[in-house]
Amino acid sequence: MARLTSPDKKYPSIKPLEVVVESNLELTTRDGVILRSDVYHPTDDQAYPSLVCRTPYNKQLPRYIETATDLAKRGYCVVVQDFRGRYASDGDYHWMWRERSETHDTEDGYDTIEWAATLEWSDGRVGTWGHSNASWAIWMMLDSQPPSLSSTLASGISQNILDINFGIFETGRRLEWTHMMAADMRRRAELTDGAITPAQASKRWNEVERGKYIWWLPLGDIPGGTFSELNDQLQTYHRNQNKEYQHFGDIHPKVRTPVYQITGWWDRLIGTVDNFHGITKNGPDKLRNKHRLIIGPWGHDATQYQGKIGPVDYGSDATTTYADLIARWYDFDLKGIENGFADEAPVQMWVLGEDKWRGENEWPLARTHYKKVYLHSQGSANTIWGDGSLSWELPQASESRLDEYDYDPRDPVMSLMRGDSQAAPVDQSPHDHRQDILVYDFPVVDSNLELVGPVSLNLWAQTDGFDTDWTAKLAVVYEDGLAVNLTYGIMRARYRDGYDNPKLLKLNEPFEYTIKLNPIGCLLKPGQKLRLYVSSSDFPNFDRNHNNGQDYWSDSDLRVAHQQVFHSVDRPSHILLPVIPN
C-alpha cells in the first residue's frame, strides 16, 4: 500500500505569485437572476485553471478570503460566489432541506462553472472547492454535468441527509445555524429587530438565546422573529424531519470528473465515505480508480485541520490547511505536477492510535472481518462502576436479568461536544455517574486490535413509551482512564422499519433495533479498551424524544419512559465491529 507522508507536503517549492481581487463580478443565470462573485487571480498576464466555491455563508468571511488568496498565489483563478438570495447575490434563498427543484443550485452551479471557464484569467479548465453546505452545492452541480468541469474537490458532506441527522432534529446545531443564517435575511429585508451579521447573530445566540430556545416547548412555537425570514422554512423542516431531500447516490453514475473528498473521524458528515464508495462502485468505469479520499483526525472544520483536537494531540503530521489540500489535488490533477499523488493509494487515512498516514485501496477495506461483540451484565450495567461488559462470547443462560433505567426528557443526557455544537473528541467523565447510561466495557487488550470501517449496534430493548430514542456511543479508554468518544449513533424507535414508514410502539414489546453508527478508524493498543455507552438521549445534539408518540415540534408533554435492554441467549444484543487482521 502506498503511504502518504503528510497531506500538506508541497511540490514543488515555488515563489508565491502576486494576487489581485475582482470584487462582485456579475453572472446572469438562465432565469435572469444576478449572482456575484469575488475572483482572485495572479497579476501576471497568464491564464490559470479556475477553482469555484459557491457558499451561503458570505464570500467575504475571512476563511474564504484566506483560502482563495492562498490558492491564487499558487497559480489559480479562484472564484468565490454568494448563493442565490445570500449577501451580494440577487434572488430568493431556499435552503438545502427541500426538493432539489426548489433550490436552483443544480442550474446555478452549472451556469457558474461555465461562466468561470470564460473569465479572462482562466485557461478554460474548472475545478471546485467548498466545505459542508458549499460541498452540498458541488454535488448538486455534478448532477448537471457542466462540460467545462475538469476536476472536483468536495469536503464534509454525506451521501444522504438522513445519514447526518438520523431523522431527528439536531436542536443545538440547527437552531443556532438558522439563527445565524437569518441575519442576512434580516439585513436584506431591512429589518431592525435583531442581528444583521453572522458574528452578531452567533454572539447573541451563545450569550443570550441558546439557554432559552433549545429547551423551548414546543419548538415549533419559538417566536417567529427569532429566525426572521427563515422561520417558514424552519417550520416546514420540522414537519419533514424524516424526509430524504438529497440522495447523491442518484448522482454517482453521472459524475464525469475525478473527485477528491476530504473528511475527518469526528466530522459530523462522515457519510462522505459513502459518496466515495458510491462513485467508485457506481460511477463511470474509466474514473473509478481516479477518485480519492482522505480521512484525518479532524472535526467539521473548514480551514485549519489540526493534529491537536480535544484532549488528544496527534502531532504535526496530522496538521494542514484546507488550501494545502486543495492545491495539492489540483497541482496533480489539473497541472500534472509530479507531487507524489500518483504513487499513493486512493484512500489515505489517519488511523487513530497508529497515528500516521496510511494508504488503502478501497472503502470499506476488503480485508475487514465483521465480528459480533456481545453485551453482558447481571442487570447492573448503569454507570462506569456497573457490571456491564463486552465479549466475543455469546451470553449465558445465567445472564437473564435485563439492564434498566428511566429516561426523563426533562433531564436528558447532555451532549459532550464543541462550543459550536459540532462533534469532537471529548473527555466522557462528566457522565460517569449517570444512572440513565448503561456502560459496557471490553477487556483491556493485551495485543493490538485494529478497528476500521462501518459500525452498527443490534440492540434488543423494550420501553413503556409510545416512542423513544436509543443512543449508542463508542469510546476508547486509555491507560490512565481517560475515555474519549470515537463515534456515535441514534435511532428514533418510530423509524425502526424505515424513515418512510414511521410506526408507534406497542408498550413493553421487545424489539431488535439496528442502530447505525458513524464509521471508525482506530488502533487499540495494549493497556487500552473499548467502551460502549447505551442511553436514550444526546441533547442538544439531537432533540429530546417526548416518549408519547406526538410530533416533537408541536408537543409540550414530556413523559418518563422506563427502558429495558436485553442481553440473553435468545435476545443477544451485540455490536458489529470492523476488525482488521494483524
Largest CA distance in the chain: 80
Tell me the average pLDDT across 276-302: 94
The last residue of one of the domains, among 238, 253, 277, is 238
**Co-location of 195 and 276 in the same domain:** no
Q: How far apart are CA 92 and CA 101, in angstroms?
A: 14
Phi and psi at residue 261, in whole multiples of 5°?
Answer: -120, 145
Q: Is residue 8 part of a domain?
A: no
Q: Can the peptide bond before residue 540 be classed as cis, meaning omega within 30 degrees of 0?
A: yes
pLDDT of residue 13: 54
The last residue of one of the domains, among 238, 259, 287, is 238
Residue 10 has pLDDT above 50, yes or no: no
Range 472-497 burial, b when 16+ CB lie within 10 A, else e? bbbbbbbeeeebbbbbbbbbbbbbbe
Whether the Cβ atoms of residue 489 and residue 472 lie closer than 8 Å to each other: yes
pLDDT of residue 136: 94
Residue 573 has pLDDT above 60, yes or no: yes
Provide the domain limits for residue 473.
369-580
**Co-location of 222 and 270 in the same domain:** no
**Co-location of 421 and 482 in the same domain:** yes
**Co-location of 355 and 455 in the same domain:** no
Q: How far apart are CA 101 and CA 527, in angstroms?
A: 54
Q: What residue type is 414 in one-letter code?
A: M
**Co-location of 204 and 303 in the same domain:** no
Residue 6 has pLDDT above 60, yes or no: no
**Co-location of 40 and 120 in the same domain:** yes
**Co-location of 551 and 508 in the same domain:** yes
Q: Is residue 9 part of a domain?
A: no
Tell me the average pLDDT across 419-440: 93
Q: At what angle do helices 105-117 and 133-142 cross, to 10 degrees?
A: 80
Within 13 Å, how many C-alpha atoms sit on residue 182's CB side?
26
Q: How far apart are CA 517 and CA 494, in angstroms?
A: 18
Q: Is residue 70 part of a domain?
A: yes
Q: Is residue 306 part of a domain?
A: yes
Residue 12 has pLDDT above 60, yes or no: no
- CATH number, domain of 103, equals 3.40.50.1820
Give per-residue pLDDT as tens, 215-270.
999 999 999 999 999 999 999 999 999 988 878 889 999 999 999 999 999 998 78
The last residue of one of the domains, among 360, 377, 412, is 360
pLDDT of residue 270: 84
pLDDT of residue 160: 86
Give per-residue pLDDT as tens, 176-188.
999 999 999 999 9
Give per-residue pLDDT as tens, 298-347.
999 867 798 999 899 999 999 999 999 999 999 999 999 999 999 999 99
Q: What residue type is 449 in one-letter code?
A: L
Structure-derived torsion over alpha carbons of residues 364, 439, 164, 294, reported in degrees to the nearest 10:
-40
Contacts of residues 312-318 at CB distance under 8 Å and 24 or more positions apart, as own/partner, are 312/425, 312/484, 314/350, 314/352, 314/355, 315/355, 317/5, 317/6, 317/356, 317/357, 318/350, 318/355
Give residue 1's pLDDT band: very low, low, confident or very high (50, 70, 90): very low
Calculate Rg over the CA atoms of the chain.
24
Q: Is residue 10 part of a domain?
A: no
* Mean residue pLDDT across the chain: 94
- CATH number, domain of 393, equals 2.60.120.260
Give residue 92's pLDDT band: very low, low, confident or very high (50, 70, 90): very high
- The grid coordinates of residue 82 equal 454568494
Tell me the average pLDDT across 525-539: 98
Give per-residue pLDDT as tens, 125-142.
999 999 999 999 999 999
Residue 77 has pLDDT above 50, yes or no: yes
**Co-location of 155 and 178 in the same domain:** no
Q: Is residue 67 part of a domain?
A: yes
Residue 4 has pLDDT above 70, yes or no: no
Q: Which of 31-35, 37-41, 243-247 has the lowest mean pLDDT?
A: 243-247
**Co-location of 185 and 311 in the same domain:** no
Q: Which of 4-8, 416-420, 508-512 has the lowest mean pLDDT?
A: 4-8
Domains: count for the chain:
3
Residue 29 has pLDDT above 80, yes or no: yes
Q: Which of 148-157, 187-196, 565-574 has the lowest mean pLDDT?
A: 187-196
Q: How far apart are CA 291 and CA 346, in angstroms?
A: 7
The predicted model scores a pTM of 0.95
**Co-location of 146 and 181 in the same domain:** no
Tell me the average pLDDT across 390-406: 92
pLDDT of residue 301: 81
**Co-location of 419 and 437 in the same domain:** yes
Tell me the average pLDDT across 478-490: 97
**Co-location of 105 and 52 in the same domain:** yes
Q: Is residue 14 part of a domain?
A: no
Q: How far apart are CA 305 and CA 502, in angstroms?
A: 39
- The grid coordinates of residue 40 equal 482572485
Q: Which of 3-12, 420-429, 542-551 has the lowest mean pLDDT?
A: 3-12
Q: Is residue 7 part of a domain?
A: no
